[in-house]
């Protein structure tokens, strides 16, 4: 652990000796005080217990120290998440995304409209009007609550078709994620008429070399990351979005969302949640590398809220067993599906889970298996929770504060405690000033 302090000390000394970065904004290697590009990353549902659990999940058991994660490295502050008072203290993804996209609190379900259902300007819209490029790269359908609140306005997150249609008017340069079902052929034709390239096969992403692009790679959400260990979809989408958007000399604003951390949290599915966390952290590392190579880029990462009331240790046991999670080879949905249909289901399930099942466990699973797929998936999740000492308090959200992570120019603005609306207002303040009209 002491290894990490030496470079920090050296950095401190070099900062004292060198010209401060803000003294020269034109030098190619100096970071300006105001970013040209901004990458906003949201781990949906990623409350503090998720980043802690992820640290122990990634820990190398052969070393004494617990290795730091990308989250530990980039942490700068915390944020409250409560919605407008009409919705109490516990937010949903729509109200939280509205706060993060517009700097204004609204009711649960609102997509960038205020409590009077009037549209609120978003960071992406403002950036676009100033000549910057904009885009989203997400693992849910692209018209799900979080990306929708950055791109569109609607009185309800549930109006998926209306949201998809309204994307025609956003002029965003890059849409990458899932959601084919919401973009029927007639709507796709309208996007093509506006100059968008449309792709639906992940392999075709490589052929896209310039904006504008509408890439929809799943009917609704992308597959669970744990079911496609080497696919690295979110980090690949993020890399592509960066390379397309950075072609604009004026700069860009990109939203990246690890959308399915929340979905796994709603399912109280720790193994699948850790898989989603791992791919979100891969995407963060892609952006971190971009920031290193482009010191004029700010990255800000947060969660919209905490999902599931995840607890690391339960029942008075001072214990958590992430090593079990490391050996699980598929999502509980996939394991349950195989167990429902397979003849040799006990052996197959034990292989997928990476541990032998006790007689008592088999008996419980057998009862669940008779009741169908969803009951079986829940039973497998309970089994994993029991083995790992993982706890959950709800299948919904909780009102706890979330963390804020940042790097790049002006990242210190996000230090300490803030409200989720403050995050948006700070980002608004970093956008270029509109050019003065000629008089
Ligand atoms: Zn949620």
- The string of DSSP letters for 331-367 reads -HHHHHHHHHH-TTHHHHHHHHHTSPPPHHHHHHHHH
Residue tagged active-site, from 33, 52, 80, 93? 93
**Taking the domains of the chain in order of start, what are their residue ranges?**
7-20+33-310+397-430, 312-391
- Show the tokens assigned to 203: 């392999």
Confidence of residue 33 (pLDDT cuts 50, 70, 90): confident
Distance 357 CA to ligand 1 centre (A): 32
Q: What pTM value is reported for the model? A: 0.92
Which of 325, 313, 312 shows the shortest CA–CA distance to 381?
325
Can you identify the CATH homologous superfamily of domain 7-20+33-310+397-430?
A: Alkaline Phosphatase, subunit A (3.40.720.10)
pLDDT at 342: 85
Distances (CA, A) of 123 to 150, 207, 243, 309: 7, 29, 20, 30
* CA pair distance 235, 223, nearest whole angstrom: 14
User: Cβ distance 247 to 211 under 8 Å?
Assistant: yes
SS (H, E, C) 138-191: EEEECCCHHHHHHHCCECCCCCHHHHHHHHHHCCCCEEEEECHHHCCHHHHHHH
Distance 303 CA to ligand 1 centre (A): 11
pLDDT of residue 27 exceeding 50: no
pLDDT of residue 435 exceeding 80: no
* CA pair distance 308, 50, nearest whole angstrom: 10
Number of C-beta neighbours around residue 208 at 10 A: 17
pLDDT of residue 29 exceeding 80: no
Confidence of residue 433 (pLDDT cuts 50, 70, 90): confident
Q: β-pairing, 133-141 with 252-258? A: parallel
pLDDT of residue 3 exceeding 80: no
Distance 284 CA to ligand 1 centre (A): 21
Q: Is 200 exposed, middle or buried (0-12, 13-18, 19+ CB in 10 A)?
A: middle
Average pLDDT, stretch 311-316?
Answer: 96
* CA pair distance 14, 342, nearest whole angstrom: 62
CA atoms within 13 A on the CB side of 256: 29
Distance 30 CA to ligand 1 centre (A): 40
Backbone angles phi, psi at 280, to 5 degrees: -65, -40
Confidence of residue 437 (pLDDT cuts 50, 70, 90): low
pLDDT at 31: 63
Q: pLDDT of 225-248, one tens digit each?
A: 999 989 999 999 999 999 999 999
| Same fold yes or no, 7-20+33-310+397-430 and 312-391 | no
Indicate the angle between helix axes 373-388 and 359-370, nearest 10 degrees. Answer: 160
pLDDT at 343: 87
Q: Is 66 helix (H, G, I), strand (E, B) or coil?
A: coil
Distance 313 CA to ligand 1 centre (A): 22
* CA pair distance 132, 248, nearest whole angstrom: 7
Distances (CA, A) of 189 to 151, 165, 184: 20, 12, 9
Mean pLDDT score of the chain, rounded to an integer? 93
In percent, the amount of the chain with pLDDT more than 90 equals 90
Which of 411, 421, 303, 404 shows the shortest CA–CA distance to 38?
411
Phi-psi bin for 176: left (phi > 0), alpha (psi -120 to 50), beta? beta
pLDDT at 10: 43
Distance 279 CA to ligand 1 centre (A): 18
Distance 306 CA to ligand 1 centre (A): 8
The sheet carrying 416-419 orders its strands as 197-199, 213-216, 174-178, 133-141, 252-258, 37-43, 297-303, 402-407, 75-80, 416-419
Q: pLDDT of 358-368, one tens digit each?
A: 999 999 999 99
Distances (CA, A) of 131 to 37, 94, 227, 439: 12, 27, 39, 21
Confidence of residue 439 (pLDDT cuts 50, 70, 90): low
Distance 199 CA to ligand 1 centre (A): 28
Distance 263 CA to ligand 1 centre (A): 6
> Which top CATH class is 312-391?
mainly alpha
Q: pLDDT of 37-80, one tens digit each?
A: 999 999 999 999 999 999 999 999 999 999 999 999 999 999 99
SS3 content of the chain, % helix, strand, coil (to 5): 45, 15, 35
User: Cβ distance 232 to 112 under 8 Å?
Assistant: no
pLDDT at 15: 42
Concatenated DSSP letters of 316-332: T-----HHHHHH--S-H
Q: Which residue has the tokens 């298996």?
A: 369
Q: pLDDT of 246-270, one tens digit each?
A: 999 999 999 999 999 999 999 999 9
Distance 413 CA to ligand 1 centre (A): 27
Distance 374 CA to ligand 1 centre (A): 19
Mark whether 200 is an active-site residue: no
Distance 260 CA to ligand 1 centre (A): 9
- Show the tokens assigned to 36: 């040209």
pLDDT at 370: 95
In percent, the amount of the chain with pLDDT more than 70 equals 92
Q: pLDDT of 170-223, one tens digit each?
A: 999 999 999 999 999 999 999 999 999 999 999 999 999 999 999 999 999 999
Average pLDDT, stretch 296-324?
Answer: 97
Q: pLDDT of 342-381, one tens digit each?
A: 889 999 999 999 999 999 999 999 999 999 999 999 999 9
Distance 72 CA to ligand 1 centre (A): 24
pLDDT at 438: 59
């Amino acid at each position: 652990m002491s290894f990490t302090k030496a470079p920090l000390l050296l950095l401190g000394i070099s900062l004292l000796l060198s010209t401060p970065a803000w003294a020269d904004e034109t030098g190619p290697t100096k970071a300006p005080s105001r970013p040209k590009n901004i990458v906003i990353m949201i781990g949906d549902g990623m409350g503090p217990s998720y980043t802690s659990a992820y640290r122990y999940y990634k820990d190398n058991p052969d070393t004494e120290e617990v290795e730091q994660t990308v989250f530990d490295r980039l942490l700068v502050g915390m944020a409250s998440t409560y919605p407008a008072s009409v919705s109490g203290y516990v937010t949903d993804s729509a109200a939280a995304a509205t706060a993060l996209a517009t700097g204004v609190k609204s009711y649960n379900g609102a997509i960038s409209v205020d409590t009077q259902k009037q549209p609120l300007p978003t960071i992406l819209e403002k950036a676009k009007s100033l000549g910057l490029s904009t885009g989203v790269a997400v693992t849910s359908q692209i018209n799900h609550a979080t990306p929708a609140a950055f791109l569109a306005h609607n009185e309800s997150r549930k109006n998926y078709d209306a949201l998809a249609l309204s994307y025609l008017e956003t002029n965003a340069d890059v849409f990458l994620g899932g959601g084919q079902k919401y973009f029927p052929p007639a709507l796709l034709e309208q996007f093509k008429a506006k100059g968008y390239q449309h792709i639906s096969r992940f392999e075709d992403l490589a052929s896209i070399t310039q904006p504008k692009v509408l890439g929809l790679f799943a009917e609704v959400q992308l597959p669970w990351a744990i079911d496609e260990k080497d696919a690295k979809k979110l980090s690949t989408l993020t890399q592509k979005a960066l390379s397309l958007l950075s072609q604009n000399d004026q700069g860009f604003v990109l939203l990246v969302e690890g959308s399915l951390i929340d979905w796994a949290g709603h399912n109280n599915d720790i193994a699948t949640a850790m898989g989603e966390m791992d791919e979100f952290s891969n995407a963060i590392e892609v952006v971190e590398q971009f920031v290193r190579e482009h010191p004029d880029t700010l990255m800000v990462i947060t969660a919209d809220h905490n999902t599931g009331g995840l607890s690391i240790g339960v029942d008075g046991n001072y214990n958590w067993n992430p090593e079990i999670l490391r050996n699980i080879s598929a999502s509980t949905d996939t394991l349950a599906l195989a167990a429902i249909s397979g003849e040799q289901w006990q052996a197959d399930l034990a292989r997928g889970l990476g541990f032998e099942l006790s007689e008592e466990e088999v008996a419980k699973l057998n009862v669940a298996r008779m009741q169908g797929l969803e009951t079986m998936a829940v039973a497998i999740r309970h089994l994993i929770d029991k083995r790992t000492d993982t706890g959950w308090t709800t299948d919904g959200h909780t009102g706890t504060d979330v963390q804020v992570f940042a790097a790049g120019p002006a990242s210190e603005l996000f230090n300490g405690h803030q409200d989720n609306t403050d995050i948006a207002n700070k980002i608004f303040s970093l956008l270029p000033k509109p050019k003065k009209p000629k008089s």
